[in-house]
Amino acid sequence: MTKSKLAMASVMTGIIALGAATATPALAGGKEKCYGVAKAGHNDCATNNSSCAGTSKTDNQGDAFVAVPKGLCGKLSGGSLTPKG
C-alpha cells in the first residue's frame, strides 16, 4: 500500500469512528453528507435499504452516508454528494 493510500485509509478510519460515536451527524458547522464511502454498519443515518444509523448492509453502499468536513467528500475514492443507485 502506498503512503498516500495508507494516509487516506487512516483518515477514513477516523471519520468512520467519529461517525459511529455520534448517532446523528451534525451537518451544520461545515459538514456535508458523503455517500458511498461508509463501511458496513457505520452509516450516519437511515438509507433506502437500512432503517437507521449504523445499519448499512455493505461497504460503500451507495445510499449510505457519513458526515465529513465540507470539501473532503470529493477527494475520497467513491465519495459522492448525492446518493448512488
65 falls within a domain: yes
Structurally, the chain folds into a number of domains equal to 1
Q: What's residue 60's pLDDT?
A: 93
85 falls within a domain: no
Closest CA to 83 of 39, 33, 45, 41: 33
Q: Give, for all 85 residues of the chain, the pLDDT tens digit.
A: 566 666 666 666 666 655 544 444 456 789 999 999 999 988 888 777 767 888 888 999 998 999 999 999 999 999 999 998 7
Global pTM value: 0.63
83 falls within a domain: no
81 falls within a domain: no
Q: What's residue 78's pLDDT?
A: 93
Residue span of the structural domain in which 39 resides = 3-75
Give residues with Cβ within 8 angstroms of 2, minimum separation 6: none
